[in-house]
């Protein structure tokens, strides 16, 4: 027996009674309930499925498969239902949101077609934003604004939305925006008076006025087409609230009127960038100074190759109390260019160290690894650069002492 669809005419918060014909276990811990009649729209044509409950059991999804409408519930909950009369409760807020966006989409697609000649090839009603894919290479911002204004005019004019139930042989009497998807016994043609005719199985509002508002959020190139993002109805309110709230935070922080925060942010970023450059310059200068002081004691030794008389590499160590690793690395890099040696520099602030070598042909890993392991440190690197860390300062100190 086929489920009688009532999702087009059911328009009330009152519960609806139907009979369970079958409860069928499905894969993945779910079951499908098959009813003699339903108020739940099954996912299709870009419109998501309704939500709600059957005798209080929440619906996970509603799908149409092989001419059957399957009401998906969890397997666990299936035990709570049995064949016979049940009460269906629709999540009316979600349904209204879908109808608002579906009618809004027809209005938007019809308006774009009229103003640019481009057809909509697909649409999607998402949880956050909705999209249509329009068969045109590009839609300029000015065009999108003009489309938005034109759609708003149609909303203000409260144009009736009429559903024509039409036998297939008569469907071409309508100036359709879209091809007929499949040949059913009856084709639903949704008309927005003076704006659009489209064959459609979705749920719709009674007039464009119920859309309330429609915002085109933007457009991007997509597979040779243009993907247009939009929201309508209460989502416009929510979006506006969110943007306003954020804009006001920025406005207060910058002491700038909301209308000017964009320009203010850009100016601020430019200033911050300049400061960053200056800071970098001073940091490098500071590191160079510290590096010079560090190697000064060794500058007069004649081990110009970095290897001392006994064939051992010259090792320079230092522990910095306040320097973080970033600064320690800057000092190390700078010192490395001043003198051939192995530099082992520790940041006590971060309980880490870095080792640099400018001694030709030397692999510092051999020099460090044993002491690193002996003092419970972790680290890694290559022949001329090595980094490591310790759990505590005591281990770091012991390691540094051993290296020295
Ligand atoms: Zn539609």
Q: How far apart are CA 321 and CA 349, in angstroms?
A: 6
- Does this model's pTM top 0.95? no
Ligand 1 centroid – CA 136 distance (Å)? 20
Looking at residue 305, what is its pLDDT? 57
Torsion angle in degrees (nearest 10) through CA of 345, 347, 348, 349: 170
Q: What is the pLDDT of residues 219-246, one digit of tens each?
A: 999 999 999 999 999 999 999 999 999 9
Ligand 1 centroid – CA 219 distance (Å)? 20
pLDDT surpassing 90 at residue 36: yes
Q: What is the pLDDT of residues 286-313, one digit of tens each?
A: 999 999 998 887 765 555 556 665 667 8
Ligand 1 centroid – CA 105 distance (Å)? 7
Ligand 1 centroid – CA 3 distance (Å)? 22
CA distances 104 to 73, 143, 228, 340, Å, are 30, 18, 13, 72
Ligand 1 centroid – CA 221 distance (Å)? 23
Count of Cβ atoms closer than 10 Å to residue 261 Cβ:
19
For residues 308 and 172, the model is more confident at 172
Ligand 1 centroid – CA 86 distance (Å)? 30
Ligand 1 centroid – CA 30 distance (Å)? 29
All domains in the chain, ordered by first residue: 4-90 (2.40.30.130), 96-241 (3.30.980.10), 283-403 (3.10.310.40)
Ligand 1 centroid – CA 103 distance (Å)? 7
Q: What is the pLDDT of residues 47-90, one digit of tens each?
A: 999 999 999 999 999 999 998 999 999 999 999 999 999 999 99
Q: What is the mean pLDDT of residues 391-397?
A: 94
Q: Determine which of 28-42, 169-183, 329-343 has the lowest per-residue pLDDT on average.
A: 169-183
Q: What is the mean pLDDT of residues 16-36?
A: 95
Ligand 1 centroid – CA 190 distance (Å)? 8
Q: What is the mean pLDDT of residues 119-129?
A: 95
Ligand 1 centroid – CA 181 distance (Å)? 11
118 touches 134 (CB < 8 A): yes
Ligand 1 centroid – CA 188 distance (Å)? 10
Ligand 1 centroid – CA 201 distance (Å)? 6
Q: What is the pLDDT of residues 310-362, one digit of tens each?
A: 667 888 999 999 999 999 999 999 998 888 889 999 999 999 999 999 888 88
Q: What is the mean pLDDT of residues 200-208?
A: 95
Ligand 1 centroid – CA 165 distance (Å)? 14
Ligand 1 centroid – CA 202 distance (Å)? 5
Ligand 1 centroid – CA 232 distance (Å)? 15
Ligand 1 centroid – CA 18 distance (Å)? 27
Ligand 1 centroid – CA 21 distance (Å)? 30
pLDDT band at 106 (very low <50, low <70, confident <90, very high): very high
């Amino acid at each position: 027996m086929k489920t009688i669809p009532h999702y087009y005419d059911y328009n009330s918060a009152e519960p609806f009674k139907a009979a369970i014909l079958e409860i069928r276990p499905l894969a993945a811990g779910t079951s499908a309930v098959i009813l003699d009649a339903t108020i739940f729209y099954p996912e299709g044509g870009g419109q998501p499925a309704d939500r709600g409950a059957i005798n209080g059991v929440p619906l996970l999804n509603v799908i149409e498969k092989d001419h059957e409408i399957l009401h998906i519930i969890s397997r666990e909950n299936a035990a709570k239902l049995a064949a016979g009369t049940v009460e269906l409760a629709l999540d009316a807020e979600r349904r209204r949101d879908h109808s608002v966006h579906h009618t809004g989409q027809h209005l938007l697609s019809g308006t774009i077609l009229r103003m640019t000649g481009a057809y909509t090839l697909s649409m999607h009603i998402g949880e956050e934003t909705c999209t249509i894919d329009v068969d045109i290479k590009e839609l300029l911002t000015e065009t999108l604004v003009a489309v938005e204004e034109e759609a708003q005019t149609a909303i203000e004019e409260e144009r009736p939305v009429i559903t024509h139930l039409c036998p297939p042989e008569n469907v071409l009497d309508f100036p359709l925006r879209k091809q007929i998807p499949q040949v059913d016994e009856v084709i639903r043609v949704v008309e927005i008076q003076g704006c659009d005719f489209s064959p459609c199985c979705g749920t719709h509002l009674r007039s464009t006025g119920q859309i309330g508002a429609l915002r085109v959020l933007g457009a991007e190139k997509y597979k040779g087409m243009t993907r247009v993002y939009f929201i309508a109805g209460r989502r416009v309110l929510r979006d506006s609230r969110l943007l306003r709230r954020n804009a006001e935070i920025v406005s207060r922080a910058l002491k700038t009127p909301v209308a000017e925060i964009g320009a203010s942010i850009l100016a601020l970023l430019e200033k911050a960038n300049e400061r960053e450059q200056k800071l970098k310059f001073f940091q490098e200068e500071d590191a160079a100074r510290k590096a010079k002081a560090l190697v000064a004691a060794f500058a007069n030794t004649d081990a110009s190759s970095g290897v001392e008389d006994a064939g051992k590499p010259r090792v320079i160590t230092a522990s910095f109390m306040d320097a973080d690793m970033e600064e320690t690395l800057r000092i190390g890099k700078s010192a490395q260019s001043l003198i051939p040696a192995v530099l082992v520099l520790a940041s006590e602030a971060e309980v880490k160290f870095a080792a640099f070598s400018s001694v030709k042909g030397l692999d510092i890993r051999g020099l460090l690894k044993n002491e690193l392991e002996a003092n419970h440190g972790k680290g890694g690197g290559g022949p001329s650069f090595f980094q490591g860390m310790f759990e505590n300062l005591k281990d770091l100190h012991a390691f540094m002492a051993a290296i020295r």
